[in-house]
Amino acid sequence: MATAAVTTERENYLNAEYGIKSWLLTTDHKRIALLYLISITFFFFVGGFFALLIRLELLTPAGDLVLADTYNKLFTMHGQVMVFFFLIPSIPATLGNFLVPMMVGAKDLAFPRINLLSWYLYIAGGLLMLLCILTGGVDTGWTFYTPFSTGFSNTNVTEAGLAIFINGFSSILTGLNFVVTIHRMRAPGMTWSRMPLFLWSTYATSIIFLLGTPVIAITLLLVVMERAFGLGIFDPTRGGDPVLFQHLFWFYSHPAVYIMILPAMGVVSEIIPCFSRKRVFGYKAVAMSSIAIAVFGFLVWAHHMFVAGISLYAALVFSILSYLVALPSAVKVFNWTATMYKGSISFSTPMLYALGFIGLFTIGGLTGLFLACLGIDVHVHDTYFVIAHFHYIMVGGALMGYLGGLHFWWPKITGRMYPEAWGRLSAMIVFIGFNLTFFPQFILGYLGMPRRYWQYPPEFQVLNVFSTAGASILAVGYLLPMVYLLWSLRYGKLAGDNPWGASGLEWTTQSPPTTFNFDETPEVTWEAYDYEHIPLPMEVTLER
């Protein structure tokens, strides 16, 4: 590339200003995205470290590596850190922050200062969480079930509750910013039906942020107040109802699963058309299914409570609604598959991650049918079957989507290409390691191994050994990108403005983009995924 040398000299959002202050006080959505990227990566490795210790403890049936109390804290903090400080902000706060304004053709989000505020709220919550961990941790399980959390746990429940409470406002503000930006700041010609599907899924996610997060905030506040002032909302000896907590908790925390998976679905909906050189099959169906998931997602919370003592008829209603929310997910899988039909498919790293996503998400989705099924759920509820299922969705799905998206937009974010061979290798290692870690857990669960067990009967050991072996492979798969992506910042091949020949306004800007993204407001005259009219760059054409 003859222009390569010149490209680095061009002014962009990274070299527009220098110094720590220019980062900490920035209102540029792209810089804030990078602040998030660094902070969530930190929390990912904190949560991953806990996971590693959990898997090591479970290598043997006896509780021998850590104490029972330590083990309980490990799985609690693994869950809380991974869910609230990594998965929920992962795609929306990094890729979403970076891409939403660029995809709609705007200079920034609607409220740039509020965007910075939400990062500070995230950091405030995160620091409180770290303080909570360093001063002894929490042992309630990430679900905070009462009356254990309110009346029996002697750990830092209040601190953890407040940390998640504060962090929740970061989500709410991000959601608000996205909703307003998508409604009000689309470039001329960027109609709703021309929006990239990533925007549709980000929009659906933002609605859940806005409607769901306040409920978990209130719920955790009630827990904190019951601990501090003896309120008696959940304590049965004071007329409270411990099961009420579960309703309130899952009213947010089930939709939260869709907060994690919807953005990943959006990423996959961008990657597959690009590497198949085709318009996505059934654009409207894929877009509407995101909205359907967000809406139905609010109506299925009590499927977490089929054995909690809810009425027979409530259980029937929540079971049937859970099947309805499975439909739009199935529709997406079928449409992605159909998109590849008669395409021109290449196997770059993002595509491998996207294909891995479809595989793992399909398994995760199908096992969800087992759990929505009343007769089966009674047996597998609170066993490793559930653990396996939600890791297939949240790690196999959301994390694969996140890594795929990170590789896909890496050239745009940094202006550099990551090393392709290493990328493909890591995608493959993650896929294999993941299945080896979590597939045995389905069988363990059906055999009856309960979750959150520090020690377990010896007959469960063989499958646990498989799982721990898989986890060590998985760890390598996650460390690799960390290493080569950092390496590429300095030594990576310079990326052109549109190395993949991808559609979308973000690819019409320079790499990395300038502070205000577009020199002049673009005007959109084409449909989304107009791959018929986008030429492939030379090197991508030659590469199979």
Partner 1 sequence: MFENLPLWPARASTMAGNVDLLYIFLVLLSLFTCVAIFITIVVFVTKYRRRLDGREAQQIEGSVLLEIAWTVVPLGIFMLIFAWGAIIYFQERVLPRDVAEIYVVGKQWMWKLQHVEGQREINQLHVPANRDIKLIMTSQDVIHSFFVPEFRIKQDVVPGRYTTLWFRATQPGTYHLFCSQYCGTQHSGMVGQIVVMEPAQYQAWLTTGGAFGSLAANGASLFAQLGCPTCHQSEMQGRGPILSEVYGNPVRLEDGQTVVADDNYIRESIVNPSAKIVSGFKPIMPVFQGLLNEEQLNELVAYVKSLNPPPAGSVNSPGIAAAETKPQQP
Q: Tell me whether residue 14 or residue 369 sits nearer to partner 1 (CB atom).
A: 369
Distance CA(378)–CA(43), nearest Å, equals 34
Task: Annotate each residue in 269-308 with x if it binds partner 1 (CB under 8 A) or - if it does not, as one string.
Answer: -------xxxx-xxxxx--------------------xxx
Residue from 340, 399, 429, 474 in contact with partner 1 (CB under 8 A) = 340
CB of 395 to partner 1, least distance (A): 18
The enclosing H or E element of 167 equals helix 157-184
CB of 469 to partner 1, least distance (A): 15
Q: Angle at the Cα of 476 (from 63 to 337), degrees rounded to 5?
A: 110
The pair of structure tokens assigned to 192 is: 């709703």
CB distance 176 to 118 below 8 Å:
no
What is the C-alpha radius of gyration for the chain, rounded to an integer number of angstroms?
A: 23
Q: Which stretch binds partner 1 (CB under 8 A): 126-134, 178-186, 352-360, 402-410?
A: 352-360
Q: Tell me whether residue 106 or residue 360 sits nearer to partner 1 (CB atom).
A: 360
Q: For residue 531, state whether it binds partner 1 (rule: CB under 8 A).
A: yes
Q: Which stretch binds partner 1 (CB under 8 A): 100-108, 113-121, 171-179, 372-380?
A: 372-380
CB of 239 to partner 1, least distance (A): 7
The SS3 of residue 383 is strand
Distance CA(282)–CA(290), nearest Å, equals 13
Residue from 335, 468, 488, 515 in contact with partner 1 (CB under 8 A) = 335
Q: For residue 366, state whether it binds partner 1 (rule: CB under 8 A).
A: yes
The pair of structure tokens assigned to 224 is: 């904190």
Q: Which amino acid is at 298?
A: F
Residue from 53, 447, 469, 473 in contact with partner 1 (CB under 8 A) = 447
Residue from 52, 338, 465, 479 in contact with partner 1 (CB under 8 A) = 338
CB of 349 to partner 1, least distance (A): 15
Q: What is the total residue count of the chain?
A: 544
Distance CA(65)–CA(68), nearest Å, equals 9
Task: Annotate each residue in 68-87 with x if it binds partner 1 (CB under 8 A) or - if it does not, as one string.
Answer: xx--x---------------
Q: For residue 42, state whether it binds partner 1 (rule: CB under 8 A).
A: no
CB of 165 to partner 1, least distance (A): 22
Distance CA(459)–CA(436), nearest Å, equals 19
Task: Annotate each residue in 177-206 with x if it binds partner 1 (CB under 8 A) or - if it does not, as one string.
Answer: ------------------------------
Q: Tell me whether residue 335 or residue 515 sits nearer to partner 1 (CB atom).
A: 335
Question: Please, which residues bridge with residue 383 across strands?
Answer: 450
User: In this structure, which long-range contacts are made by residues 525-529, counting pairs with CB atoms below 8 Å and at least 24 apart in sequence?
Assistant: 525/189, 526/194, 527/193, 527/194, 527/279, 528/194, 528/195, 528/196, 528/197, 528/279, 528/280, 528/283, 528/503, 528/504, 529/196, 529/273, 529/278, 529/279, 529/280, 529/283, 529/503
Q: Tell me whether residue 2 or residue 312 sits nearer to partner 1 (CB atom).
A: 312
| Size of interface with partner 1, in residues (CB under 8 A) | 94
Q: Which stretch binds partner 1 (CB under 8 A): 253-261, 411-419, 457-465, 515-523?
A: 457-465
Q: For residue 383, state whether it binds partner 1 (rule: CB under 8 A).
A: yes
